Structure 1
Amino acid sequence: MFIYKSGSIFLVILIYVDDIIVIGTHSKSISKLILSLGHHFAIKDLGSHQYFLGIEVHHSASGLHLSQHKYITNLLARTSMTDSKSFHSPMAFGSAFSIHDETLLEDGTAYRSVVRALQYCTLTRPDIFFIVNKVYQFMHSPSDIHWQAVKHILHYLKETSHYGLSIQATPNYNLTCFTNVDHASSSDDHQNTSSYFVFMGSNIILWSSTKQKVVSCSTTESKYKVVANGAAELSWIGPLLRELNIAPTLFLASTMTTLVPTMTANPVFDG
């Protein structure tokens, strides 16, 4: 990401390999920049942002809608799931997975390929992040139970391929991080799964669901770990936004905290 500031002119350039997005406060400055780049590189101006790295951008009066409908449709066609039935949830209720589940697949190539594709779907689909993280943990030795879980996700995506992220203009630039933990959810190593979601105003901008690297002795310890992870995310997002001329207020919230600026409330020591 490159930032240009000069008086009232403010430009941001995002580059990923040979894909570029240019945004700014003055349309003439954007056009001048693109023209200047064209003198040095072979570029093609595609106009208003519609598609970027497999993410579709739909413009409306209320803001933007980001989705991966085309990418998901192609994935369903590749896995012969286009005409399959639809499910209304990304995973079956009470699902638990283990490295000792049933029969291992003779060839896990298809499993690994589909799970990697599902990982990319999570760019606009935080609703499948938790279960995709679960099935990814068995990439080295997937079983038929794990493959069924992957197919369940595909059935759900067929029903919800149009889902995505709605980004709306808002005067509220407060950053709020919500955290939670699934304590000792793995029967293989008894590690916890940490999750956090970061919102700027009403817009979700970052999310994660990963295993904690150590085994916690209590739910309190495991929750403090995920709170620390959430605070670390806020610590780098805040300065980034300030560089973009946005001055956010940081909030951190979890199942064990009160929503207060960048602090946790401990009822034991708070008296």
Structure 2
Amino acid sequence: MATPMSSASTLSLHSGLPLANGTHYQSIMGALQYCTLTRPDIAFSVNKACQFMHSPTDSHWQVVKHILRYLAGSIDYGFFYQPSTDPTLLCYIDADWASCPNDRRITSAFCIFHGVNLISWSSSKQRVVSRSSTEFEYRSLANGTAELLWLRSLF
């Protein structure tokens, strides 16, 4: 697979038929969560699939198999830290307004580079429902900025 998740797939609680035994799904999702520590390219997809661990369906299982196929095809991917004389910290922040059909919450993400090297990243669903697109953009910006300031103080 070329990507960890199809851009056309929209997951919801009621899509598909419930799995007879969800423990296998939960076990694999736990292993994939561990993989996200060194593979930020699957963080968003794993986050989406983990939202349904309490009641997985066959459509959720298809997404997990897609992630596993992507990992099998990208086994040689990894982090390559290059020496850099550029001390710049650069942060990219994005937010997805109400994309979850179940609770309409925001998924926000950021990644921070030191020179050309990725050093920090996050993708998470926010715990509160925002009233406007401006509010959720500010919340996402605040999360990324807090991490950026912490890293700056660390350096």
TM range (shorter): over 0.9
Shift of 1:91: 1.1
Matched, 1:163 2:69: no
2:40 to 126, 129, 143: 126
Q: Within 2, Cα distance between the matches of 1:208 and 1:104?
A: 30
Q: Distance in 2 between matches of 1:220 and 1:95?
A: 26
Partner of residue 95, structure 2: 181
- Identify the match of residue 100 of structure 1 among 5, 14, 37: 14
Distance 2:59 2:25 in 1: 11
Q: Greater helix share, 1 or 2?
A: 2
Query: Aligned equivalents of 1:182 and 1:93: distance in 2?
Result: 13
Match of 1:172 in 2: 86
Task: Determine the structure 2 residue equivalent to 1:200.
Answer: 114
2:30 aligned partner:
116
Amino acid at match of 1:172: D
Unaligned stretches of 5+ in structure 2? none
Q: Distance in 1 between matches of 2:79 and 2:141?
A: 24
Residue 168 of structure 1 aligns to a residue in which SS?
coil
User: Looking at both structures, which has the greater relative contact order when contacts are Cα pairs under 8 Å and sequence separation is at least 6?
Assistant: 2
- Identity, in percent, stands at 50
Q: How does 1:39-54 map to 2 (within 5 A)?
A: none
TM-score by length of 2: 0.96
1:216 and 2:135 aligned: no
The two structures, once aligned, show a CA RMSD in angstroms of 1.0
> In structure 1, what is the Cα distance between the partners aligned to 2:66 and 2:124?
20
Q: Which has the larger radius of gyration?
A: 1
Name the structure with the higher strand share: 1
- Decide which of 118, 141, 144 is 1:227's aligned counterpart: 141
Gaps of 5+ in 1: 1-86, 242-271
Aligned residues: 155
Q: Which contiguous aligned blocks of 4+ residues in structure 1 show a shift greater than 3 angstroms?
A: none
